[in-house]
Amino acid sequence: MLPAERREQILRAVRSGTTQVSELAAAFGVSDMTVRRDLSDLERGGKLTRVHGGAVGVTQERPFAEIAVERFEQKDAIGALAASTIEDGQTVILDVGTTTLQVARHLRGRSLSVITSNLAVYEELLPEESIELVLLGGVVRRNYRSLVGMLAEDALRQLRADVAFLGASGVEDDLGVVDTTMVEVPIKRAMMAAAARSVLLVDSAKFEMRGVVRVCQADALDALVSDSGIPKRARAALQRAGVEVLVA
């Protein structure tokens, strides 16, 4: 089999769910090193994203700038309320996403530390000399302006924060927090592990949306910040699960 043909078949395998280097090597009868080289070539071509131990396929995502203007008033109100819960001197983790970007905008001028994988947050806070800014390493997801992969995960294992503000693609009926992008989920989980308090930021539309990967159940959260459109049933269920609900 020619290398180009093998890479095309590896790409199809990754898109269908076979993501581990060892599985791909066994399937194509080549060494792990050969698979890693093929994955690196495919990543350089923008066809997949390397992650620890394997790869995930690249999905067609809408641009960050396009998503940022959707439901902007709700996101801005959520960001303002979340920022108001932070005290000077604290260390905050900000996840990828357009709502966490609004938190960053409301933290400008404050004296604190911010850890983030969100390149939009980094650009927003870079001029703020009173904020100690920690940017996680990793592979750049250009379209969604985030950092992912083992370097980011390893960095988070060395860090501790007072609170992590997290985004998500949706909240399911059973209060499962879900995301559409598999490569972001290990980062979100590592952020939660690094923080004393985990707070989910979701506008009310997210209660009608779904994802492909479960991040956690609601009982892993300390609080959730949403807008006044949050479904009453979901709000009551979250409170029964011990999650503090803040409404902007």
Which domain CATH number covers 109?
3.40.50.10470
For residue 211, is pLDDT > 60?
A: yes
- 75 plus 141 within the same structural domain: yes
pTM: 0.76
Confidence (pLDDT) at 101 = 96
Query: How many Cβ atoms sit within 10 Å of the Cβ of residue 99?
Result: 28
What's the Cα-to-Cα distance from 44 to each of 15, 38, 49, 240, rounded to whole Å? 16, 10, 9, 47
The total number of structural domains that make up the chain: 2
Q: The tokens 């904020």 sit on which residue?
A: 131
Q: Cα dihedral angle (102, 104, 106, 112), rounded to 10 degrees?
A: 160
Is 210 found in the same domain as 136? yes
* Length of the chain, in residues: 248
Please state, rounded to an integer, the average pLDDT across all residues of the chain: 90
pLDDT score recorded for residue 43: 77
Q: What is the mean predicted confidence (pLDDT) over 93-114? A: 97
pLDDT digits (tens, 9 = 90+) for 177-190: 999 888 899 999 99
The CATH number given to whatever domain includes residue 18 is 1.10.10
Distance, CA of 162 to CA of 87 (rounded, Å): 10
Q: Quick one: 75 and 38 in the same domain?
A: no
Instruction: Say whether both 86 and 197 belong to one domain.
Output: yes
Better-scored residue on pLDDT, 195 or 58: 195
What average pLDDT score do residues 113-129 get?
A: 97
The pLDDT assigned to 58 comes to 61
- Give the separation between CA 95 and CA 116, rounded to whole angstroms: 6
Q: Are 115 and 159 in contact (CB under 8 A)?
A: yes
Q: DSSP letter for 51, please.
A: E
Determine the structural domain holding residue 101 and report its residue range.
Answer: 65-247
* DSSP secondary structure code for residue 62 in this structure: P
What is the arithmetic mean of pLDDT over 199-222?
A: 92
**pLDDT at residue 212, as a whole number:** 76
Q: Are residues 47 and 74 in the same domain?
A: no
Give yes or no: residues 146 and 212 share one domain. yes
pLDDT digits (tens, 9 = 90+) for 55-102: 766 655 566 667 767 789 999 999 999 999 999 999 999 999 999 999
Would you call 97 helix, strand, or coil by DSSP? coil
pLDDT at 198 over 60: yes
The Cα–Cα gap between 237 and 248 comes to 18
